[in-house]
Amino acid sequence: MQRLILSLSLAFCLAPAAYADVVYYKSGESLKGLVVEEHHDRVIVSTEAGEWTILKRDMQEIFYDDPERNYLFMGNQALEEGNFGLARMFYRRALQIKPEFREAQDALNRLADMKNKAELMQPVGDPTEALLQQWGLTLEINKNLPEVKGVRKDSLADRSGIEPGDFIVSSWGYSLAFMGAEQVAGILLGPAATSVQITIQRRVVFPRKSLWGWPGITLDMEPQGLTVKQIKPDGPAAASGLRLLDRILELNSLSTRYMPLGEARKILNGTKTEAVFLIHRDLLVKRE
């Protein structure tokens, strides 16, 4: 960690304005691009030659073009090592540089949640069984993501808006992909009366019934991606389950990651039969 901090400080001073993230391999090689996904064991980097998956066990270090992201990365490293104080310092430094940096604020909330667990929560035997008791849901790993297989009626999960078939993709913005079911359950569990923000992934389908008023939503490109900014309460999108601030990952099976806003609107307006959205939705769950 100390060597990483020193290396990062030097990079801030010496690195040219290349406007690219750089991943350094343990082999001595490096890769420049844009980090588009971060998981507990890997990162995905977009380059001119396509997207590359790099396992953290093969990485020496990583430097981000944005200074606040370097502090976020170091904070996450410190948090994984159980150093709450150092992690908090890095997250706060990131927010000093960019006060609206949502990922750093989410990380501070995750830190507080982990601290509450360490201080207030008794060890559990089987996390998946404890999750069923506290949340009323069962999970199964499907394509590297935790899928909700069952939701008990009138349970915490049910009242929070979680449905069978949903994927729980992150907690306080921290990816839950490429984890086992017990590890995910352990992250979701927590002391009663504490809150955790999760992000669910869901497929929303709604038909085009008429030309008038279609589709009843306004989209905009936010830092987190293509986002529903306005929605008609009585429109077809709302009736089919789309909600304000849902983030759209796919539109009619087309990824929106690199899609211009105008292209997304063109696809939606040109839909003849039904629109299919793959969405991410944030839910704040208060544990019981």
pLDDT of residue 271: 81
pLDDT in tens, 201-259: 999 998 776 555 567 888 999 988 999 999 988 887 888 899 999 999 999 999 999 99
Domain definitions of the chain by residue range: 2-120, 127-190, 202-284
How buried is residue 49: exposed, middle or buried, by Cβ count under 10 Å (0-12/13-18/19+)?
exposed
pLDDT at 79 over 80: yes
| Mean pLDDT of all residues in 54-70 | 95
pLDDT of residue 216: 81
| Mean pLDDT of all residues in 263-282 | 89
Q: Phi first, then psi: what are they for 222, rounded to 5°?
A: -105, 170
pLDDT band at 113 (very low <50, low <70, confident <90, very high): very high
pLDDT in tens, 169-191: 999 999 999 999 999 999 999 99
pLDDT of residue 6: 39
CATH number, domain 127-190: 2.30.42.10
CA 282 to the chain's CA centroid: 9
Q: If you write DSSP's letter for every residue of the chain in order, what string do you get?
A: -HHHHHHHHHHHHH--S---EEEEETTS-EEEEEEEEE-SSEEEEEETTEEEEEEGGGEEEEE-SSHHHHHHHHHHHHHHTT-HHHHHHHHHHHHHH-TT-HHHHHHHHHHHHHHHHHHHPPP-S-HHHHHHHHH-EEEEEETTEEEEEEE-TTSHHHHTT--TT-EEEEETTEE-TT--HHHHHHHH---TT-EEEEEEEEEEEEE---STT-S-EEEEEETTEEEEEEE-TTSHHHHTT--TTPEEEEETTEE-TT--HHHHHHHHHT-SSEEEEEEEEEEEEE--
Tell me the residue type at 119: E
| Mean pLDDT of all residues in 51-77 | 95
pTM summary value? 0.88
What is the average pLDDT score of the chain? 90
How buried is residue 271: exposed, middle or buried, by Cβ count under 10 Å (0-12/13-18/19+)?
middle
Higher-confidence residue of 270 and 113: namely 113
pLDDT in tens, 85-111: 999 999 999 999 999 999 999 999 999
The reply to whether 127-190 and 202-284 are identical in fold is yes
**Distance of alpha carbon 206 from alpha carbon 191, whole angstroms:** 38
- CATH number of the domain at 2-120, out of 2.60.40.10, 2.70.70.10, 2.60.120.310, 2.30.30.100? 2.30.30.100
pLDDT of residue 236: 78
pLDDT band at 10 (very low <50, low <70, confident <90, very high): very low
The answer to whether residues 282 and 199 touch, using CB atoms and an 8 Å cutoff, is yes
CATH number, domain 202-284: 2.30.42.10
| Mean pLDDT of all residues in 63-72 | 95
User: Which residues fall within 8 angstroms of residue 72, CB to CB, at 6 or more apart?
Assistant: 90, 91, 94, 101, 103, 104, 107
